[in-house]
Chain A
Amino acid sequence: MKTFGLIVNRLVYAFVLLFAVLVLNFTLMHMAPGDVADTISQSMGGADEELLIEIRKDYGLDQPYYQQLVTYIGKVLRFDLGHSFFFNEPVSKLVLERVPATLLLVITAQILALLLGVVLGVYSARKPNGILSHFVTLFALFGYSAPVFWTGILLLIAFSLQIPLFPVAGMRDVTIEGNFWVHAIDVMKHMVLPVLTLASIFLALYSRLARATMIETLGTDFVRTARAKGLPERQVVYKHALRNSLSPVVTLAGLQFSAVVSGAVLVEAVFSWPGLGTLAFQSIIARDTPTILGILFFSALVVIIGNLLTDLALRFVDPRVGASK
């Protein structure tokens, strides 16, 4: 019942928040210099003032700000994110087409980073002065401080050019024919490098955090109690200590959901991954306001859903969360 109440509560907040995001995004985009008319005139090699006004009229850009805003919000409420000037397609279609590719990339990277990060963190916490522990620290520092596009390009040079193990770009090879599994394996091959690149940032964060919290938890009284009960070391570490160390890691993982778009933009650009990031990049260059707004709206939605899931996961991990009123 408590969980149900929480979900309802959060959905109400989510609605208010989305509305605010919508207004803010629209206002910011409106304030930014340049619009689609400039892009069109550029692609035509220049246009006179009259033509620009004509174009703006066509797209409804000549109307006052508040009227444009009201029109836009009215459309969004009817699940219409508008029409892309640049791609000449409905924005919702554009975004939804790109979402699966991005989610595939980001979720795989997240899960890989989370699992590996926690395992490495736990392992190095048990032997804080061991060789592996120092290696993890070093690796984490490297992963965190190296810019993703640089890591991505290095991986490309190493494993696509010097040792051609993986394809250079894209998500699938159009020349390949075969059943579902042939295609699945093809996509996986394309995924390896972008996933590794993206995971390297997350992995750095999670392994450092897991290591720090585990070291702290292993020194607590209840871990000593678990040992005094005669539990095997494996149970002491994984049942008693790990669950108590998970909360901060889960919280951080939830916050990283916002990286769905931001982190993926660069990685997708390096690997020409046909996801939201690439779309965002293209539409920003083209000043395609409706598409940008659509992507921003969608990423706000993802962040809100991510936070709700984090809240639920925390309740599962730690019974104390939400128990006090």
Chain B
Amino acid sequence: MVDKLLEVKNLRVELQTKDGVVPVIDDLSFDLDYGESLSFVGESGCGKSMTALALMGLLPEKVGRIASGSIKFEGRQLANASSEDLRKIRGNEISMIFQEPMTSLNPVLSVGEQISEVLRLHQKMSVNSAWKRAEDLLDAVNIPDPKRRVHDYPFQMSGGQRQRVMIAMALACEPKILIADEPTTALDVTVQAQIFGLLKDLQTKTGTSIILITHDMGAVAQMARKMIVMYAGRPCEIGEVAQVIKTPQHPYTTGLISCVPHLDDAIIDANNRLSEIPGIVPSLREFGSNKCLFASRCKHQMEQCRAERPVLAQFSNKQAFACWKREIIDAG
């Protein structure tokens, strides 16, 4: 049997806090194929970024750890790999771009140095050929005049350009997986569209798989084929993007989708208020308790929701959700 590109099974990540050990990722399973794109969606603090850090082996030292479960990358177990093995995979076979392009590049090194450094490290390229390749990469991410700009420092570039440099850096070694953690949150809307366009372009060219972490439903619809909705460290709905957006099953997913304003709504009904999900995310202390963590904010809550954690159950062949209310909930 051919190994999957990435296979995550029953992953549990725990953080050490003042109030004790908290499971910030609680029983997460998913897999990713070559060239596929997957999206994690959810509010702040739902465990999206922690998932990315766990995959990269970059959980905060001494505070976070993978408590159980497995992360298999092309058959190799990453969950308890040595830091040296993980280091060789990071930036090479799995790489990552971050939310803050303004601060994610080293201010005192030229962008050429920051890109070619990865190539020298992982591909054992010479100084000259790595530099040449850095120029090509800047060209590939549509930075004009790459031969000159490669000598620039980050402070000489705009936010969008810096994020392009981050992308060039992340794709330098042609990784099999690119993790993009809210790559456009800090950028304005027109630049967002450009960055997503660029990512899609590069994906078709290089065949890399993308894991997109976002809270922006629009970005998900544009970028990903599969999506996982996370709430309080738990997956609450998994499925094909088109299907989930059309027929969301979990009340939280329904809520998230109805929060997105529609252009025609506003025209038809001027008084139509933007909907929101009432309440707030539960505190870390409640994480891991045996109940539905969304129950307190859910209009469909029942006795059972507060007594037992709902299991993730298959709904149709490609959609699964974790809710006790099994019959189809109509969107209203």
Measured CB to CB, the residues of A under 8 A from B are 220-222, 224-232, 239-240, 243-244, 317-320, 323
Contact = CB atoms under 8 A, between A and B. Distances in A.
Nearest to B179: A228
A224 B155 CA distance: 18
B282 to A, nearest CB: 27
B98 A224 contact: yes
B104 A222 contact: yes
Given A221-B100, A243-B108, A227 B90 contact: yes
Contacts of B89: 230
Contact of A221 (B91, B104, B117, B118): B104
Contacts of A231: 87, 91, 117, 121
A229 B121 contact: yes
A258 B193 CA distance: 55
Contact of B103 (A221, A232, A320): A221
B58 A224 contact: yes
A317 B56 CA distance: 31
A317 B108 contact: yes
Interface of B: 56, 58, 87-92, 95-96, 98, 100, 103-110, 117-118, 121-122, 153, 155-156, 166, 169
B121 A228 contact: no
B58 A228 contact: yes
Given A319-B108, A319-B153, A320-B155, A227 B58 contact: yes
Given A221-B98, A224-B98, A240-B106, A230 B155 contact: no
Nearest to A232: B87
Contacts of B109: 239-240, 243
A264 to B, nearest CB: 33
B56 A228 contact: yes
Contacts of B92: 230
B98 A229 contact: no
Contacts, number: 73
Nearest to B166: A225
Nearest to A318: B108
Contacts of B105: 222, 225
Nearest to B95: A228
Nearest to A246: B108
A228 B49 CA distance: 13
Contacts of A224: 58, 98, 104
A317 B89 CA distance: 31
13 contacts: A222-B104, A224-B98, A224-B104, A225-B169, A229-B95, A229-B169, A230-B89, A243-B108, A244-B106, A318-B107, A319-B110, A323-B153, A323-B155
Given A225-B98, A317-B108, A320-B153, A230 B103 contact: no
B104 A225 contact: yes
A317 B166 CA distance: 23
Nearest to A247: B108
A282 B272 CA distance: 88
A232 B105 CA distance: 17
A229 B100 CA distance: 16
Nearest to A321: B108
Contacts of A220: 103
Give the 8 A-B residue pairs with the shortest CB-CB distance, closest first. Answer: A230-B91, A230-B90, A229-B91, A221-B103, A222-B106, A221-B104, A228-B96, A230-B87
A244 B89 CA distance: 26
Nearest to B100: A221
A208 to B, nearest CB: 22
A223 to B, nearest CB: 8
Contacts of A227: 58, 90
Contacts of B91: 228-231
A226 B105 CA distance: 9
B40 to A, nearest CB: 17
B264 to A, nearest CB: 39
A221 B87 CA distance: 18
A230 B88 contact: yes
Contact of A244 (B88, B107, B169): B107
Contacts of A323: 153, 155-156
A231 B105 CA distance: 14
Given A229-B121, A229-B169, A244 B95 contact: no
